Structure 1
């Protein structure tokens, strides 16, 4: 029995409700995961002795006790003892602060409330799995931060090695890190690897998609609320700052944070203090802050859309992640690794690339960066007929090439709203109307895409023609 979660290992689902298990199993299946079910704590422990898992979704309440979460806490603690590197996500319909904090202290990496949002389950699952360096070495030393593994982190190019050297140098500190780079360059993966190489590796790594937060939910999501704080606050909610206490809080798409919310975040960062909605009790947390954006925060500061003092709190160390076209030496190794993962996932034979296909991969502009390359390899795994991957199997089209760079400080004569609409239509067209694929091309969450589509009056596949 190997205590090392691998990319093709299943996810363990532990819940005494059959409907819940089946719903989660279906969600994971359509997202490319396999799963194994357990209907009780005893069954879950038995499963752990039988096989390896890459993550576990664990209910907090079972038939003996339906509200306290004691059975779930006991189970999580035992799972942490048996499989200390296994990422565990706690789930419950009776969410409260004490239970969430207790789950984290018992060994859970994150916490999800029932009824869940599918996108959040998948995002949390992806994050906790990626946060395990080397697939099973959460306490890895900093010198292992750049070691190749099945998460897709490959750095043969000089530009990417410099990034890893910089991350290595700051991993042991608590300095705030700002990761800059285009969508799809791997900022989330690098943030999770940085956490795994830090002294906080055994504490939670909590990711927040700032661009996906509705302004009305910002305070509740970040700081939590108590029951009765507002009309729909029927129970206490633990916030992301509190979940990340002792660990790392990763603020993705930080450039999309509305100006009116920035002072609230600034105060929490400066003092480590905040108040939950509905109470005046001040809470203190200890978190290491890592942020990421594809925007120029300095330009946003000059435009009056981002606070200068908040920028200075975020960018103690500023690291630029190169685009894939700037690290050509990494393209073929990344493609080969991604193809191997996809072939394992779909149980298809791994094929070598022809010389022409290799040349096409190196010459393609990759506007979607590593994310685009991974989706390309997934298509190849499903559709290539062999015995080699040929150029036509890659299905690289001119529509995927980046637009010519605009002059500095301009939008090529169009407004920001028009540019956003143009990008949305292009993403819908190149994805064939698949909203998940379109969101990934744009580097945003599906929820964020929904809001933008609604804003422009688009309806997914109905608007491909423009």
Structure 2
């Protein structure tokens, strides 16, 4: 049984984390500060240290030195990517932002302990590695950390194993909520860079005015408020992997700087005239069509081809057959354990609904639906009503939402234009002066179906569109 030390000064959080870990068969000790941990325990004797960053007295990063090689997972209530990255540069194995999801914490702990055991055992081939329960590598307990065994996922697993040991740039394409970050983490964990940082950045979450500074750093006085020079996230990933999620949202100027990183292996901080070398493997992800964006000048074509060395497509949930039920059952077991409930099961009609529903929000929507169902469930089984999903004929996977669109739209698609191309052309041409309701009516589909197809093709709503409604 793995022995974990929790160092956290907030008693409520410390106790809750202890109960969570003990329920999952970990031995746990706890302390309220670095000093208390030193006085009470032999810190290098633990298998893992989970510590808050901000502690009374010394910061949690002091434990990295005291642990003498034992991995340290840093928690930060400030959700500051900068402080988390600084912690990893000092030697922390990973970071997690508070308030954290229980599953997120358990996955991080399991991954770190598994990696520690693998290192202690010595290198083994990917083909021979398996989970403690003997499940194949394609399962969530395998080295990839992804659930699913359908043919498209098996093909994806094979590509991940081939691509991971290389330093080639990788572009992961897939709809929102399909688990693109899981693929990026699998690529990193199976690479020669696994012991170096994996720095994950959501390009859509950083304000456009700050993104260049955040990614590439800045010099003192480079802009108002730059009172000191700072390294960027690309520098923080030096020797490791940089994962840029939603790269289609990256401004053009930042794209030009990123291209320099890929072409020359060097960066220049904002406000600096000097360049410095970096060794970074780039993994990018998007739900948008970057090639189409490059044709209309919203994404650099040269950067697109640099990113597109290896392309991995993560299929949406509706294309994964029985995987959806396997994933749903995994989420159900996890939520029951998290909420300390007796095991629940799906009613037969609920299983059928889970298979039939198109899940436009993919795995993320499925997880939320099951969490809601477990909270509301009063009996031993989950009914269709508790899932809160609406199966409608025009939303089912097998239905063609464009069956009547030719009659609904005054413009007929040309012979060499596919329905998807036609949809994209029509929406981009009319969304500035039509609401979402009007667009859907003209196309002969529901608003929800319009939203689904936008997501699938990566067509964002214009911020100034009439469809603000």
TM-score normalized by the length of structure 1 = 0.72
Q: Alpha carbons of 1:323 and 1:442: their partners in 2 closer, same or farther (altered >3 Å)? A: closer
Correspondences of 1:319-334 after superposition (within 5 Å)? 319-334=312-327
Match of 2:255 in 1: 262
Q: Alpha carbons of 1:379 and 1:281: their partners in 2 closer, same or farther (altered >3 Å)? A: same
CA contact (8 A) 2:51 2:60 kept: no
Q: Following the alignment from structure 1 to structure 2, what is the Cα–Cα distance between the partners of residues 317 and 183?
A: 20
Gaps of 5+ in 1: 6-10, 29-33, 65-70, 112-119, 431-437, 444-448
Q: Following the alignment from structure 2 to structure 1, what is the Cα–Cα distance between the partners of residues 384 and 64?
A: 48
Q: Count how many residue pairs are aligned between Structure 1 and Structure 2.
A: 407
Q: Alpha carbons of 1:411 and 1:80: their partners in 2 closer, same or farther (altered >3 Å)? A: farther
CA contact (8 A) 1:110 1:204 kept: no
CA contact (8 A) 1:350 1:381 kept: no
Gaps of 5+ in 2: 18-22, 119-124, 130-136, 403-418, 441-446
Q: Following the alignment from structure 2 to structure 1, what is the Cα–Cα distance between the partners of residues 82 and 244?
A: 23
Correspondences of 1:59-458 after superposition (within 5 Å)? 59=54, 63=57, 72-79=60-67, 81-82=69-70, 84=71, 86-89=72-75, 103-110=88-95, 134=111, 136-138=113-115, 142-143=126-127, 144=129, 146-149=138-141, 153-398=146-391, 404=401, 407-411=420-424, 413-415=426-428, 417=431, 422=436
Q: Following the alignment from structure 2 to structure 1, what is the Cα–Cα distance between the partners of residues 389 and 61?
A: 49
Q: Following the alignment from structure 1 to structure 2, what is the Cα–Cα distance between the partners of residues 420 and 170?
A: 44
> Displacement, 1:142?
3.8
Q: Please give the per-residue CA displacement for 1:138-194, whole angstroms capped at 9, x wherever unaligned.
A: 365644563423997212111111101100111111111110111111101111122
Q: Please give the per-residue CA displacement for 1:51-107, whole angstroms capped at 9, x wherever unaligned.
A: 987954323x7536xxxxxx654312334623x3x533578999999x965752423
> Displacement, 1:129?
7.1
Q: Following the alignment from structure 2 to structure 1, what is the Cα–Cα distance between the partners of residues 384 and 330?
A: 18
Q: Alpha carbons of 1:242 and 1:125: their partners in 2 closer, same or farther (altered >3 Å)? A: farther
Q: Following the alignment from structure 1 to structure 2, what is the Cα–Cα distance between the partners of residues 166 and 105?
A: 33
Q: Alpha carbons of 1:242 and 1:122: their partners in 2 closer, same or farther (altered >3 Å)? A: farther
Q: Alpha carbons of 1:409 and 1:234: their partners in 2 closer, same or farther (altered >3 Å)? A: farther
RMSD across aligned positions (CA) = 4.5
Q: Alpha carbons of 1:347 and 1:310: their partners in 2 closer, same or farther (altered >3 Å)? A: same
State which structure, 1 or 2, has the greater radius of gyration over its C-alpha atoms: 2
Which residue of 34, 46, 57 maps to 1:41? 34
Greater relative contact order structure (CA < 8 Å, 6+ sep): 1
TM-score normalized by the length of structure 2 = 0.72
